C-alpha cells in the first residue's frame, strides 16, 4: 500500500458530501491536504477541524464555471505546493435537475461539461506533466454509475466524456508511476444524491481511497466501485 506522508493532495468539492468524506479519510494518512470548494468559507469548518487534529490543511476556492477562477486556482495550488502536487482527486461536480426527455437546454449541457468534464481535464493537464517529470502521481476522476436516465442527459454525457478523457490518456501514462483511474462512488445520500439514495455517504470510505493507495502495478484506466469495499480491510486489496 502506498504511503502518503507529506504528499500534496488536492480534493475538489471537499466542502460536503463525498469530497468531505474523502478529505477526512486522507488527513490521518499524513498527507498535506488542499481542500477546494466554491468559497473559502465552505471548507473553513473542515479546515479548522482537521488542523485542530494536527493535520496540515489548506483551502482554495473556485467556481468551476469560471475560466479565470479555475486558472487562479491552478496558480494558487502551484504556489502552495511549490508546483509539486502528488494526488489530484477530481470530485467536484454538478447535476442538472431532471428534465423531460429531449428538453435539456444548451446552457445545461455547457455548464455540465464545463464543471464536470472540462475543469477536471484542465486540472489533469495542469498537474500531470509535473507528476510525470517526478514519476509519481495518483489522479482519480469521480465518475458515475448512472445508466438509462435520459432525464439527466447533460450530467451523464459529461461523466461519459470524463471517462473517455481517462481512457484516451492511458498511453501517455504507460510505464510511469503516474496512475489515473475512475471512481464510481455509488448512489449516496448527499446533496446531489438526494434523500432517497440507497447508501449512507460514509460508505464511500474506504473504497474511495483504493485508487489513491494502489501500487504502480495496479495500472491506469480502471473503474473502482467504492461500495465494493464497505466494511473491508483495505490491506486485503492493496
Ligand X SMILES: NC(=O)c1ccc[n+]([C@@H]2O[C@H](COP(=O)([O-])OP(=O)(O)OC[C@H]3O[C@@H](n4cnc5c(N)ncnc54)[C@H](OP(=O)(O)O)[C@@H]3O)[C@@H](O)[C@H]2O)c1
Contacting residues toward ligand X, per CB under 6 A: 13-19, 37-39, 42, 63-65, 91-94, 115, 142, 144, 185, 187-188, 190-193, 197
Q: Are 142 and 213 in contact (CB under 8 A)?
A: no
CB of 126 to ligand X, least distance (A): 16
Q: Which is nearer to ligand X, 38 or 84 (CB)?
A: 38
Q: Which is nearer to ligand X, 65 or 177 (CB)?
A: 65
Q: Which is nearer to ligand X, 43 or 220 (CB)?
A: 43
Q: Which is nearer to ligand X, 63 or 83 (CB)?
A: 63
CB of 185 to ligand X, least distance (A): 5
Q: What residue number has its CB nearest to ligand X?
A: 17
CB of 120 to ligand X, least distance (A): 9
How far out from the chain centre does Cα 20 lie?
Answer: 11
Q: Which is nearer to ligand X, 71 or 135 (CB)?
A: 71
CB of 106 to ligand X, least distance (A): 17
Q: Which is nearer to ligand X, 96 or 220 (CB)?
A: 96
Residue entry with cell 445545461:
108
Report the side by side order of strands in the sheet with 178-184: 57-61, 32-37, 8-11, 87-90, 137-142, 178-184, 223-225
CB of 85 to ligand X, least distance (A): 18
CA dihedral over 154, 159, 165, 168, signed as positive or negative? negative
CB of 147 to ligand X, least distance (A): 11
Q: Which is nearer to ligand X, 197 or 234 (CB)?
A: 197
- What angle (nearest 5°) sits at the alpha carbon of residue 194, between those of residues 64 and 199? 110
Q: Which residues contact 184 (CB under 8 A, 6 or more apart)?
A: 143, 144, 145, 223, 224, 225, 226
Q: Are 158 and 113 in contact (CB under 8 A)?
A: yes
Q: Could you please report the per-residue DSSP string of 62-117?
A: --TT-HHHHHHHHHHHHHHHTS---EEEE-----PPP--TT---HHHHHHHHIIII
CB of 151 to ligand X, least distance (A): 15
Q: Which residues contact 70 (CB under 8 A, 6 or more apart)?
A: 62, 64, 119, 122, 123
Question: Where are the alpha helices (H) located in 135-231, listed in sequence order?
Answer: 153-173, 210-213
Amino acid at each position: 500500500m502506498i504511503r502518503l506522508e507529506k504528499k500534496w493532495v488536492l480534493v475538489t468539492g471537499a466542502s460536503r458530501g463525498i469530497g468531505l468524506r474523502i478529505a477526512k479519510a486522507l488527513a490521518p494518512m499524513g498527507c498535506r491536504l488542499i481542500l477546494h470548494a466554491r468559497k473559502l468559507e465552505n471548507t473553513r469548518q473542515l479546515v479548522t477541524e482537521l488542523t485542530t487534529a494536527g493535520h496540515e490543511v489548506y483551502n482554495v476556492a473556485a467556481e468551476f464555471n469560471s475560466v479565470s477562477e479555475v486558472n487562479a486556482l491552478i496558480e494558487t495550488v502551484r504556489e502552495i505546493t511549490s508546483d509539486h502536487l502528488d494526488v489530484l482527486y477530481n470530485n467536484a461536480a454538478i447535476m442538472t435537475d431532471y428534465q423531460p426527455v429531449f428538453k435539456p437546454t444548451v446552457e445545461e449541457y455547457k455548464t455540465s461539461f464545463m464543471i464536470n468534464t472540462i475543469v477536471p481535464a484542465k486540472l489533469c493537464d495542469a498537474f500531470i506533466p509535473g507528476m510525470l517529470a517526478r514519476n509519481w502521481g495518483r489522479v482519480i476522476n469521480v465518475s458515475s454509475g448512472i445508466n438509462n436516465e435520459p432525464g439527466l442527459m447533460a450530467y451523464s454525457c459529461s461523466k461519459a466524456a470524463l471517462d473517455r478523457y481517462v481512457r484516451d490518456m492511458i498511453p501517455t501514462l504507460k510505464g510511469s508511476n503516474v496512475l489515473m483511474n475512475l471512481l464510481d462512488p455509488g448512489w449516496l445520500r448527499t446533496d446531489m444524491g438526494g434523500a432517497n439514495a440507497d447508501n449512507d455517504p460514509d460508505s464511500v470510505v474506504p473504497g474511495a481511497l483504493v485508487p489513491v493507495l494502489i501500487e504502480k502495478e495496479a495500472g491506469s484506466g480502471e473503474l473502482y466501485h467504492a461500495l465494493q469495499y464497505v466494511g473491508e480491510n483495505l490491506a486485503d486489496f492493496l
